[in-house]
C-alpha cells in the first residue's frame, strides 16, 4: 500500500506508538488505577507486556483482522488494554457507553456485528446475555471482574485474566502471527469506531483511521505543549471520542500517564489525589462543582463566607487578566497573591485542580459566569469546539486568548469555512472516514472534497479571528416577529444559577419564549434543609411555592440580562414550568453526554408546552419514566404554570427596515 510508508516518524498505529514508548522510556508510568485503596501502577514496558499477552489470548480465541470488538465498562486500564490489544490483532475496537440500556446495546452490537465483547463486570454481562439471541455474529464475551459470575455458563464466556494466561501459554505458537498482524497495520486502516450519541435518530458509527487519531493527537498535543510528565484522570465515558483522544491518542503519542479512578463514587477524592495537569470536562462537571462550592460556602462560618466573598470579588476583577498575562497593578497582584494563599489555593486543592496547566471544556457551551469563576481562580480553563467526526478538534483557544463567548481559532491543520446559511464546515486530517454502513449519512455530512457540515451555526469575529458558535443550526430559528431565537444562549444563562440544573427554552415561530426548568436537587435540597422545609420527593420539592418563587427570581434576572443583548432581546422567558421529573437519558430526553433532546422533550411534554402558550395557571400531567433496571412507571403531577416579568424592548431598527 502506498500509504504504508507514511505516518509521523513511521508510527502508523497505536500499537506502534506503544512499542516506541515501551522501548524508549519503558520504566515511565503508563497507567495507574486505584485498587484496594492504593494507586497501582504499570510502566509502559509492563503495559506492553499486558497488552501483548491479552492480544495473544484474543488470537487464541480466534479474533480475525477486521473483526469488531466491543468494549463496555468504566475507565479501567484493562479495558484500555483491550482496545489496543484488539488493534494489535488487526481488529477494530468499538467502545460503548456503559450506562446504555440493553436495547441500545443491542442496536450498536448488531449494527457493527461485533464477534467479541469485552465487558467490565456482571452488570454488563447480564445486559449482553439479555440481547445475545438477536446478535447473529456475537461469539465470545470476556469479562474483567469475576464477581458473581462463577456460576454462569462459560462456553462462550471468559475471564480476562484467563484469556491473558492462555495468551501467555500460547506465546510460542502465536507470537509470529501477532507480529505479522502488528506489522500489517496501515495508516489508513481503521483505528476505532465510535458511535455518536446523536441528538436525533439512531446512533451512527463513526469510523476513524489511525491517521485521523494520530494526526489529531499529535497536532493538539503540540498546540498545548503536552509532555511526558503530564497526568490525566480518565473518567469520561470510554465511548466518547474525547476520552479516546486524550487517554489513548495523546497519551500514547506523548507517553504520559493515564490514571483511572477507583469507582464513580470516589472520583472527587481520586481527582484530588492525582491532581492532573491536563484536565478535560464537559460544562456540566464545572456547573456541578460550582454548585457544590456555593452550597458548602453557604454552610460555612460567617468569617469564612466573608473572606470567600471578598477575595472572589477581587479574583473576578483581576484573575483572568493575570492568567492571560495582561498588565495588572502591583497592589492588585499582591492582593491576588494573598487571596491565592487564603482562598484560591485551598479551593483549587479541594477540587483537585492545584496542578492543572491546561484545562478544557467542550461538548456544549459553558455559561460565561461559570467559565469566569474557574479562570479567575487561576485555572487555565479553555474552550474547544469539536465533534466525533473531526477526531475532536475543530477550533481551540490558544493560551492568553481565552474568552467565554468564542470557541477559539481553527486547530492546527484544520480549515474552516462558513456556509451561506451560517453553518460551519471544516476539513482536517482528523476528519472521519465514513459512517459505518451508512453511505447516505456519510454523503450528506461530508462532501467529495472532504468538507464536513457541523450542523452548528456560527461566525468568525472580525477583530479576533475567533469562531463564535450561536447554536445548533437547526435550533436557531426565528420567532413570529422575525427576531432571532437562540435557545441555548438563554438556557446557559439560566443554568448558571446553582438551583437550576437544566433548562429548555421554546419559542421558534412563536410570539414569545417560554421554558421548562429542572431544579438541582443538591442545591435546592440543601436550601430546603437550611430553611426547615420538609419534602418527601423530588416532585414535591420542585412544586414548592417558595422554590417556584426563587426560580422565578432567577428567570427575571436572566430576562434583564438577555434584554441587554440587542440581537437576542426577544428571547426573554415569559412563562415557565418547573418540571416534576429530572430530564434523563434513560427516558430518551437527553443524550448519554447529557445534551437535551429538544424535539423529544417538546413531543413528550406537548401538553405542558401547550399550557405554556395558553392562559392556564396549572396543568395536570402524566409522564412515563424508565427506572434504572429498565422497568417503566408513570408519575402524575399537577404543575404550576407561572408568568415571569420581562423587560420591555423597543423594536430593533433592523426589524423595522
Q: Residues 279, 250: contact at Cβ < 8 Å? A: no
Which of the stretches 36-44, 194-202, 320-328, 341-349 binds other proteins when contact is defined by CB under 8 A?
36-44
Bridge-based pairing of strands 632-643 and 618-626 is antiparallel
Closest separation in Å from C-beta 265 to other proteins = 3
Please, which residue, 262 or 332, has the CB nearer to other proteins?
262
Nearer to other proteins, 229 or 266 (CB): 266
Q: Is 462 exposed, middle or buried (0-12, 13-18, 19+ CB in 10 A)?
A: exposed
Q: How far is the CB of 459 from other proteins (least distance, A)?
A: 45
The Cα 605–Cα 576 span in angstroms is 13
Nearer to other proteins, 198 or 525 (CB): 525
Q: Are 392 and 220 in contact (CB under 8 A)?
A: yes
**Which residue, 147 or 634, has its beta carbon nearer to other proteins?**
147
Q: Which is nearer to other proteins, 37 or 327 (CB)?
A: 37
For 3-35, give the secondary structure using H, E and C.
HHHCCHHHCCCHHHHHHHHHHHCCCCEEEEEEE
Phi and psi angles of residue 324, each rounded to the nearest 5 degrees, phi first: -80, 0
**Of positions 36, 176, 536, 615, contacts other proteins by CB under 8 A:** 36
Nearest residue to 324 (alpha-carbon basis) of 281, 369, 374, 378: 378
Going by C-beta distance under 8 Å and a sequence separation of 6 or more, which residues neighbour residue 233? Answer: 259, 260, 261, 270, 271, 274, 276, 279, 352
State in angstroms the smallest separation of the CB of 270 from other proteins.
Answer: 10
Q: What three-state secondary structure class fits 534?
A: coil
Q: How far is the CB of 118 from other proteins (least distance, A)?
A: 21
Nearer to other proteins, 148 or 184 (CB): 148
**What's the closest the beta carbon of residue 329 comes to other proteins, in angstroms?**
43
User: Taking phi first (over 0 means left), then psi (-120 to 50 degrees means alpha), and beta for anything else, what does residue 288 get?
Assistant: alpha
Minimum CB distance to other proteins, residue 150 (Å): 7
Strand partners, 519: 500
Quote the least distance from Cβ 147 to other proteins, whole Å.
Answer: 7
Nearer to other proteins, 17 or 275 (CB): 275
Stretch that binds other proteins, among 33-41, 42-50, 132-140, 577-585 (CB under 8 A): 33-41
Shortest CB 289 distance to other proteins, Å: 17
Residue 614, judged by CB atoms within 10 A of its CB (0-12, 13-18, 19+), counts as: exposed
All three cell numbers of 295? 452550597
- Is 17 within 8 Å of 252 (Cβ atoms)? yes
Helices (H), 571-638: 598-604, 606-612
Rounded CA gap, 254 and 621, in Å? Answer: 54
Q: Judged by CB, which is closer to other proteins: 39, or 107? A: 39
Binding mask 91-130 for other proteins (x = CB under 8 A): ----------------------------------------
Report if residue 632 touches other proteins, rule: CB under 8 A. Answer: no
| Of 147 and 631, CB closest to other proteins | 147
Nearer to other proteins, 136 or 632 (CB): 632
Residue 38 lies near other proteins (rule: CB under 8 A): yes
Give the Å distances, CA to CA, from 153 to 130, 158, 500.
14, 10, 47
Count of residues in contact with other proteins, rule CB under 8 A? 13
Q: In whole angstroms, how close is the CB of 33 to other proteins at the nearest point? A: 12
Verify binding: residue 37, other proteins, rule CB under 8 A: yes
- 307 closest CA partner among 344, 270, 275, 348: 344
Burial degree of 2 (CB within 10 A; 0-12, 13-18, 19+): exposed
Which residue lies nearer to other proteins by CB, 130 or 262?
262
Nearest approach, Cβ of 301 to other proteins (angstroms)? 19
- Cβ proximity to other proteins: between 150 and 632 the closer is 150
148 binds other proteins (CB under 8 A): yes
Query: Does 631 interact with other proteins (rule: CB under 8 A)?
Result: no
Residues with Cβ within 8 Å of 309's Cβ and at least 6 positions away in sequence, in order, are: none
- The reply to whether 444 sits near other proteins by the rule CB under 8 A is no
Residue 179 CB, nearest approach to other proteins (Å): 37
Q: From residue 262 to residue 291, what is the string marking binding to other proteins with x (rule CB under 8 A)?
A: xx-xx--x----------------------
Contacts of 404 (CB under 8 A, 6+ apart): 366, 367, 368, 371, 372, 383
Choose the stretch contacting other proteins; rule: CB under 8 A; options: 30-38, 327-335, 374-382, 634-642.
Answer: 30-38
| Nearest to other proteins of 622, 628 (CB atom) | 628
CB of 292 to other proteins, least distance (A): 15
Choose the stretch contacting other proteins; rule: CB under 8 A; options: 29-37, 292-300, 560-568, 639-647. 29-37
Q: How many CA atoms lie within 13 A of 503 on its CB side?
A: 28
Q: Which of 195, 248, 204 is nearest to 86 (CA)?
A: 248
Does 638 sit near other proteins (CB under 8 A)? no
Binding residues for other proteins, per CB under 8 A?
Answer: 35-38, 147-148, 150-151, 262-263, 265-266, 269
Amino acid at each position: 500500500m502506498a500509504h504504508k510508508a507514511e505516518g509521523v516518524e513511521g508510527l502508523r498505529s497505536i500499537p506502534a506508538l506503544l512499542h516506541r514508548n515501551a522501548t524508549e522510556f519503558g520504566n515511565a508510568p503508563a497507567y495507574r488505577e486505584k485498587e484496594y485503596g492504593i494507586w497501582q501502577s504499570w510502566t509502559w514496558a509492563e503495559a506492553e507486556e499486558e497488552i501483548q499477552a491479552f492480544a495473544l489470548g484474543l488470537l487464541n480465541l480466534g479474533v480475525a483482522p477486521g473483526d469488531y470488538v466491543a468494549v463496555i465498562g468504566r475507565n479501567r486500564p484493562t479495558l484500555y488494554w483491550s482496545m489496543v490489544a484488539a488493534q494489535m490483532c488487526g481488529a477494530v475496537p468499538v467502545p460503548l457507553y456503559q450506562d446504555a440500556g440493553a436495547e441500545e446495546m443491542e442496536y450498536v452490537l448488531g449494527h457493527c456485528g461485533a464477534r467479541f465483547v469485552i465487558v467490565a463486570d456482571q452488570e454488563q454481562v447480564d445486559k449482553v446475555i439479555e440481547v445475545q439471541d438477536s446478535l447473529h455474529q456475537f461469539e465470545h464475551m470476556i469479562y474483567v471482574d469475576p464477581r458473581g459470575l462463577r456460576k454462569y455458563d462459560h462456553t462462550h464466556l471468559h475471564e480476562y485474566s484467563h484469556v491473558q494466561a492462555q495468551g501467555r501459554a500460547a506465546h510460542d505458537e502465536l507470537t509470529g502471527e501477532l507480529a505479522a498482524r502488528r506489522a500489517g497495520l496501515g495508516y489508513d486502516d481503521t483505528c476505532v469506531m465510535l458511535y455518536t450519541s446523536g441528538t436525533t435518530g439512531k446512533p451512527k458509527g463513526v469510523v476513524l483511521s489511525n491517521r485521523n487519531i494520530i494526526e489529531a493527537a499529535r497536532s493538539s498535543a503540540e498546540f498545548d505543549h503536552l509532555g511526558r510528565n503530564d497526568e490525566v484522570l480518565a473518567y469520561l465515558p470510554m465511548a466518547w471520542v474525547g476520552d479516546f483522544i486524550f487517554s489513548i491518542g495523546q497519551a500514547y503519542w506523548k507517553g504520559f500517564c493515564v490514571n483511572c479512578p477507583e469507582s464513580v463514587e470516589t472520583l472527587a477524592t481520586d481527582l484530588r489525589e492525582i491532581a492532573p495537569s491536563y484536565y478535560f470536562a464537559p460544562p456540566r462537571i464545572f456547573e456541578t462543582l460550582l454548585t457544590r462550592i456555593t452550597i458548602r460556602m453557604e454552610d460555612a462560618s460567617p468569617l469564612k463566607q466573608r473572606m470567600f466573598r471578598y477575595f472572589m470579588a477581587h479574583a473576578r476583577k483581576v484573575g483572568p487578566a493575570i492568567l492571560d498575562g495582561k498588565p495588572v497593578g502591583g497592589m492588585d497582584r499582591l492582593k491576588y497573591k494573598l487571596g491565592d494563599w487564603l482562598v484560591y489555593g485551598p479551593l483549587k486543592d479541594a477540587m483537585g485542580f492545584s496542578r492543572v496547566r491546561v484545562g478544557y471544556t467542550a461538548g456544549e457551551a459553558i455559561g460565561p459566569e461559570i467559565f469566569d469563576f474557574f479562570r479567575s481562580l487561576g485555572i487555565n480553563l479553555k474552550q474547544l469546539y469539536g465533534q466525533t467526526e473531526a477526531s475532536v478538534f475543530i477550533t481551540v483557544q490558544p493560551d492568553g486568548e481565552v474568552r467565554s463567548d468564542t470557541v477559539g481559532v481553527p486547530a492546527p491543520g484544520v480549515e474552516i469555512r462558513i456556509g451561506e446559511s451560517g453553518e460551519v464546515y471544516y476539513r482536517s486530517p482528523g476528519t472521519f472516514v465514513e459512517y459505518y454502513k451508512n453511505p447516505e449519512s456519510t454523503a450528506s455530512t461530508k462532501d467529495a472534497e472532504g468538507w464536513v457540515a457541523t450542523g452548528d451555526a456560527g461566525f468568525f469575529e472580525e477583530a479576533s479571528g475567533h469562531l463564535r458558535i450561536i447554536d445548533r443550526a437547526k435550533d436557531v430559528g426565528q420567532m413570529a416577529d422575525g427576531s432571532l431565537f437562540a435557545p441555548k444562549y438563554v438556557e446557559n444563562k439560566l443554568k448558571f444559577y446553582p438551583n437550576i440544573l437544566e433548562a429548555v427554552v421554546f419559542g421558534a415561530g412563536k410570539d414569545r419564549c417560554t421554558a421548562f426548568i429542572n431544579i438541582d436537587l443538591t442545591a435546592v435540597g440543601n436550601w430546603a434543609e437550611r430553611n426547615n422545609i420538609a419534602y418527601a420527593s423530588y416532585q414535591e420539592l420542585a412544586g414548592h411555592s417558595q422554590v417556584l418563587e426563587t426560580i422565578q427570581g432567577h428567570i427575571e434576572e436572566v430576562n434583564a440580562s438577555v434584554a441587554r443583548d440587542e440581537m437576542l432581546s426577544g428571547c426573554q422567558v415569559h412563562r415557565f414550568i418547573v418540571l416534576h421529573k429530572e430530564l434523563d437519558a434513560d427516558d430518551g430526553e437527553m443524550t448519554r453526554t447529557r445534551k437535551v433532546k429538544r424535539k423529544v422533550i417538546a413531543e413528550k411534554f406537548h401538553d405542558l408546552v401547550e399550557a405554556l402558550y395558553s392562559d392556564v395557571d396549572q396543568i395536570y400531567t402524566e409522564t412515563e419514566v424508565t427506572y434504572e433496571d429498565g422497568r417503566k412507571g408513570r408519575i402524575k403531577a399537577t404543575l404550576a404554570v407561572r408568568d415571569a416579568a420581562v423587560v420591555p424592548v423597543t423594536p430593533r431598527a433592523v426589524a423595522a427596515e
